[in-house]
Copies of this chain bind each other. A is one copy, B any other.
Amino acid sequence: METSSTPTRSRGRPAKMAAPEAVATALRLVDEEGLDALTMRRLATALGVQVGTLYRHFATKQDLLTAMAEEMLAGCADPPPDQDTWQEQVIELAGRLRAALLRRRDGARIYAGTHAAGPNTLAYAEALVGVLRGAGRSAESAARSTLAIVHFTLGHTLEEQAVGSAADGAAGGLYAALEPGRYPNLAAAAATLTSADYARHFAHGLDLLVRGLG
């Protein structure tokens, strides 16, 4: 996975294209047109290169997406959270992950569709496990809780970005189904369920997890 071996001091033709530049350009294309519009051909055109050239740097499109996912987490782990309590530090780190995914269009979809295991991802997991172990939990408990926090954050952000971009009438579908007397609980909850106040939704879920840890 990841990029191919770094070609330091090549003797032949000077490289026309560099992998980090390709990743940055790919992320820019996604920001502008969305993930579905990112194709190897369009990326090649944006880089002023032939399609086949991309395959010297990324064996597959999936590898390109993995490099993009890894890049999105740059700076997520440092500076280390310096809040007074471990609870606040967990909330800080989870918030950074959400922010990193939200920063780019379709960021959560990119991250969920890959298995980044580069230095940014590892440093982030290291920090989160570290905060929990520092709070006195066993390595096993810290590991499981890290997974729970990351999975909640990913699921939440996936939904947040999907609704934000598509506007495909999911809320409309909900309201449409509520005319009769069916779904009384959904009727009572509809205002909250369809509200766009994702920051509060996120804070609520995180609060549940952190209190559960308490």
Contacts of A130 in B (CB 8 A): 185
Task: Answer whether residue A112 sits at the interface, using C-beta atoms and an 8 A cutoff.
Answer: yes
Task: Answer whether residue A13 sits at the interface, using C-beta atoms and an 8 A cutoff.
Answer: no
Complex CA distance for A51 and B133, rounded to whole angstroms: 56
Task: Answer whether residue A32 sits at the interface, using C-beta atoms and an 8 A cutoff.
Answer: no
Q: A77 to chain B: closest CB distance in Å?
A: 11
Q: Choose one: B122, B145, B174, B191; the contact of A186 (CB below 8 Å).
A: B122
By secondary structure, the A interface counts as helix
Docked-complex contact A154 and B158, CB < 8 angstroms = yes
Per-position 1/0 for A188-208, Cβ under 8 A of B: 110111000000110011011
Looking across the interface, which residue of chain B has its beta carbon closest to that of A128? B185
Task: Answer whether residue A156 sits at the interface, using C-beta atoms and an 8 A cutoff.
Answer: yes
Looking across the interface, which residue of chain B has its beta carbon closest to that of A183? B126
Looking across the interface, which residue of chain B has its beta carbon closest to that of A127? B185
Docked-complex contact B151 and A204, CB < 8 angstroms = no
Contacts of A104 in B (CB 8 A): none
Task: Answer whether residue A143 sits at the interface, using C-beta atoms and an 8 A cutoff.
Answer: yes
Q: Choose one: B150, B205, B207; the contact of A147 (CB below 8 Å).
A: B205
Complex CA distance for A112 and B159, rounded to whole angstroms: 8
Looking at A3-11, A23-31, A42-50, A163-171, the stretch in contact with chain B turns out to be A163-171
Complex CA distance for A156 and B129, rounded to whole angstroms: 17
Docked-complex contact A166 and B115, CB < 8 angstroms = yes
Looking across the interface, which residue of chain B has its beta carbon closest to that of A172? B117
Q: Which residues of A contact B (CB under 8 A)?
A: 1, 109, 112-113, 115, 117, 119, 122-123, 125-126, 129-130, 133, 139-140, 142-148, 150-156, 158-159, 162-163, 166, 168-170, 173-174, 177, 183-186, 188-189, 191-193, 200-201, 204-205, 207-213
Q: A140-B191, A145-B205 are in contact. List 19 more A-B contacts (CB 8 A).
A: A1-B169, A112-B155, A112-B158, A115-B173, A117-B177, A126-B186, A140-B192, A143-B189, A143-B192, A143-B193, A146-B189, A147-B204, A148-B201, A150-B155, A152-B205, A155-B156, A205-B209, A209-B212, A211-B211
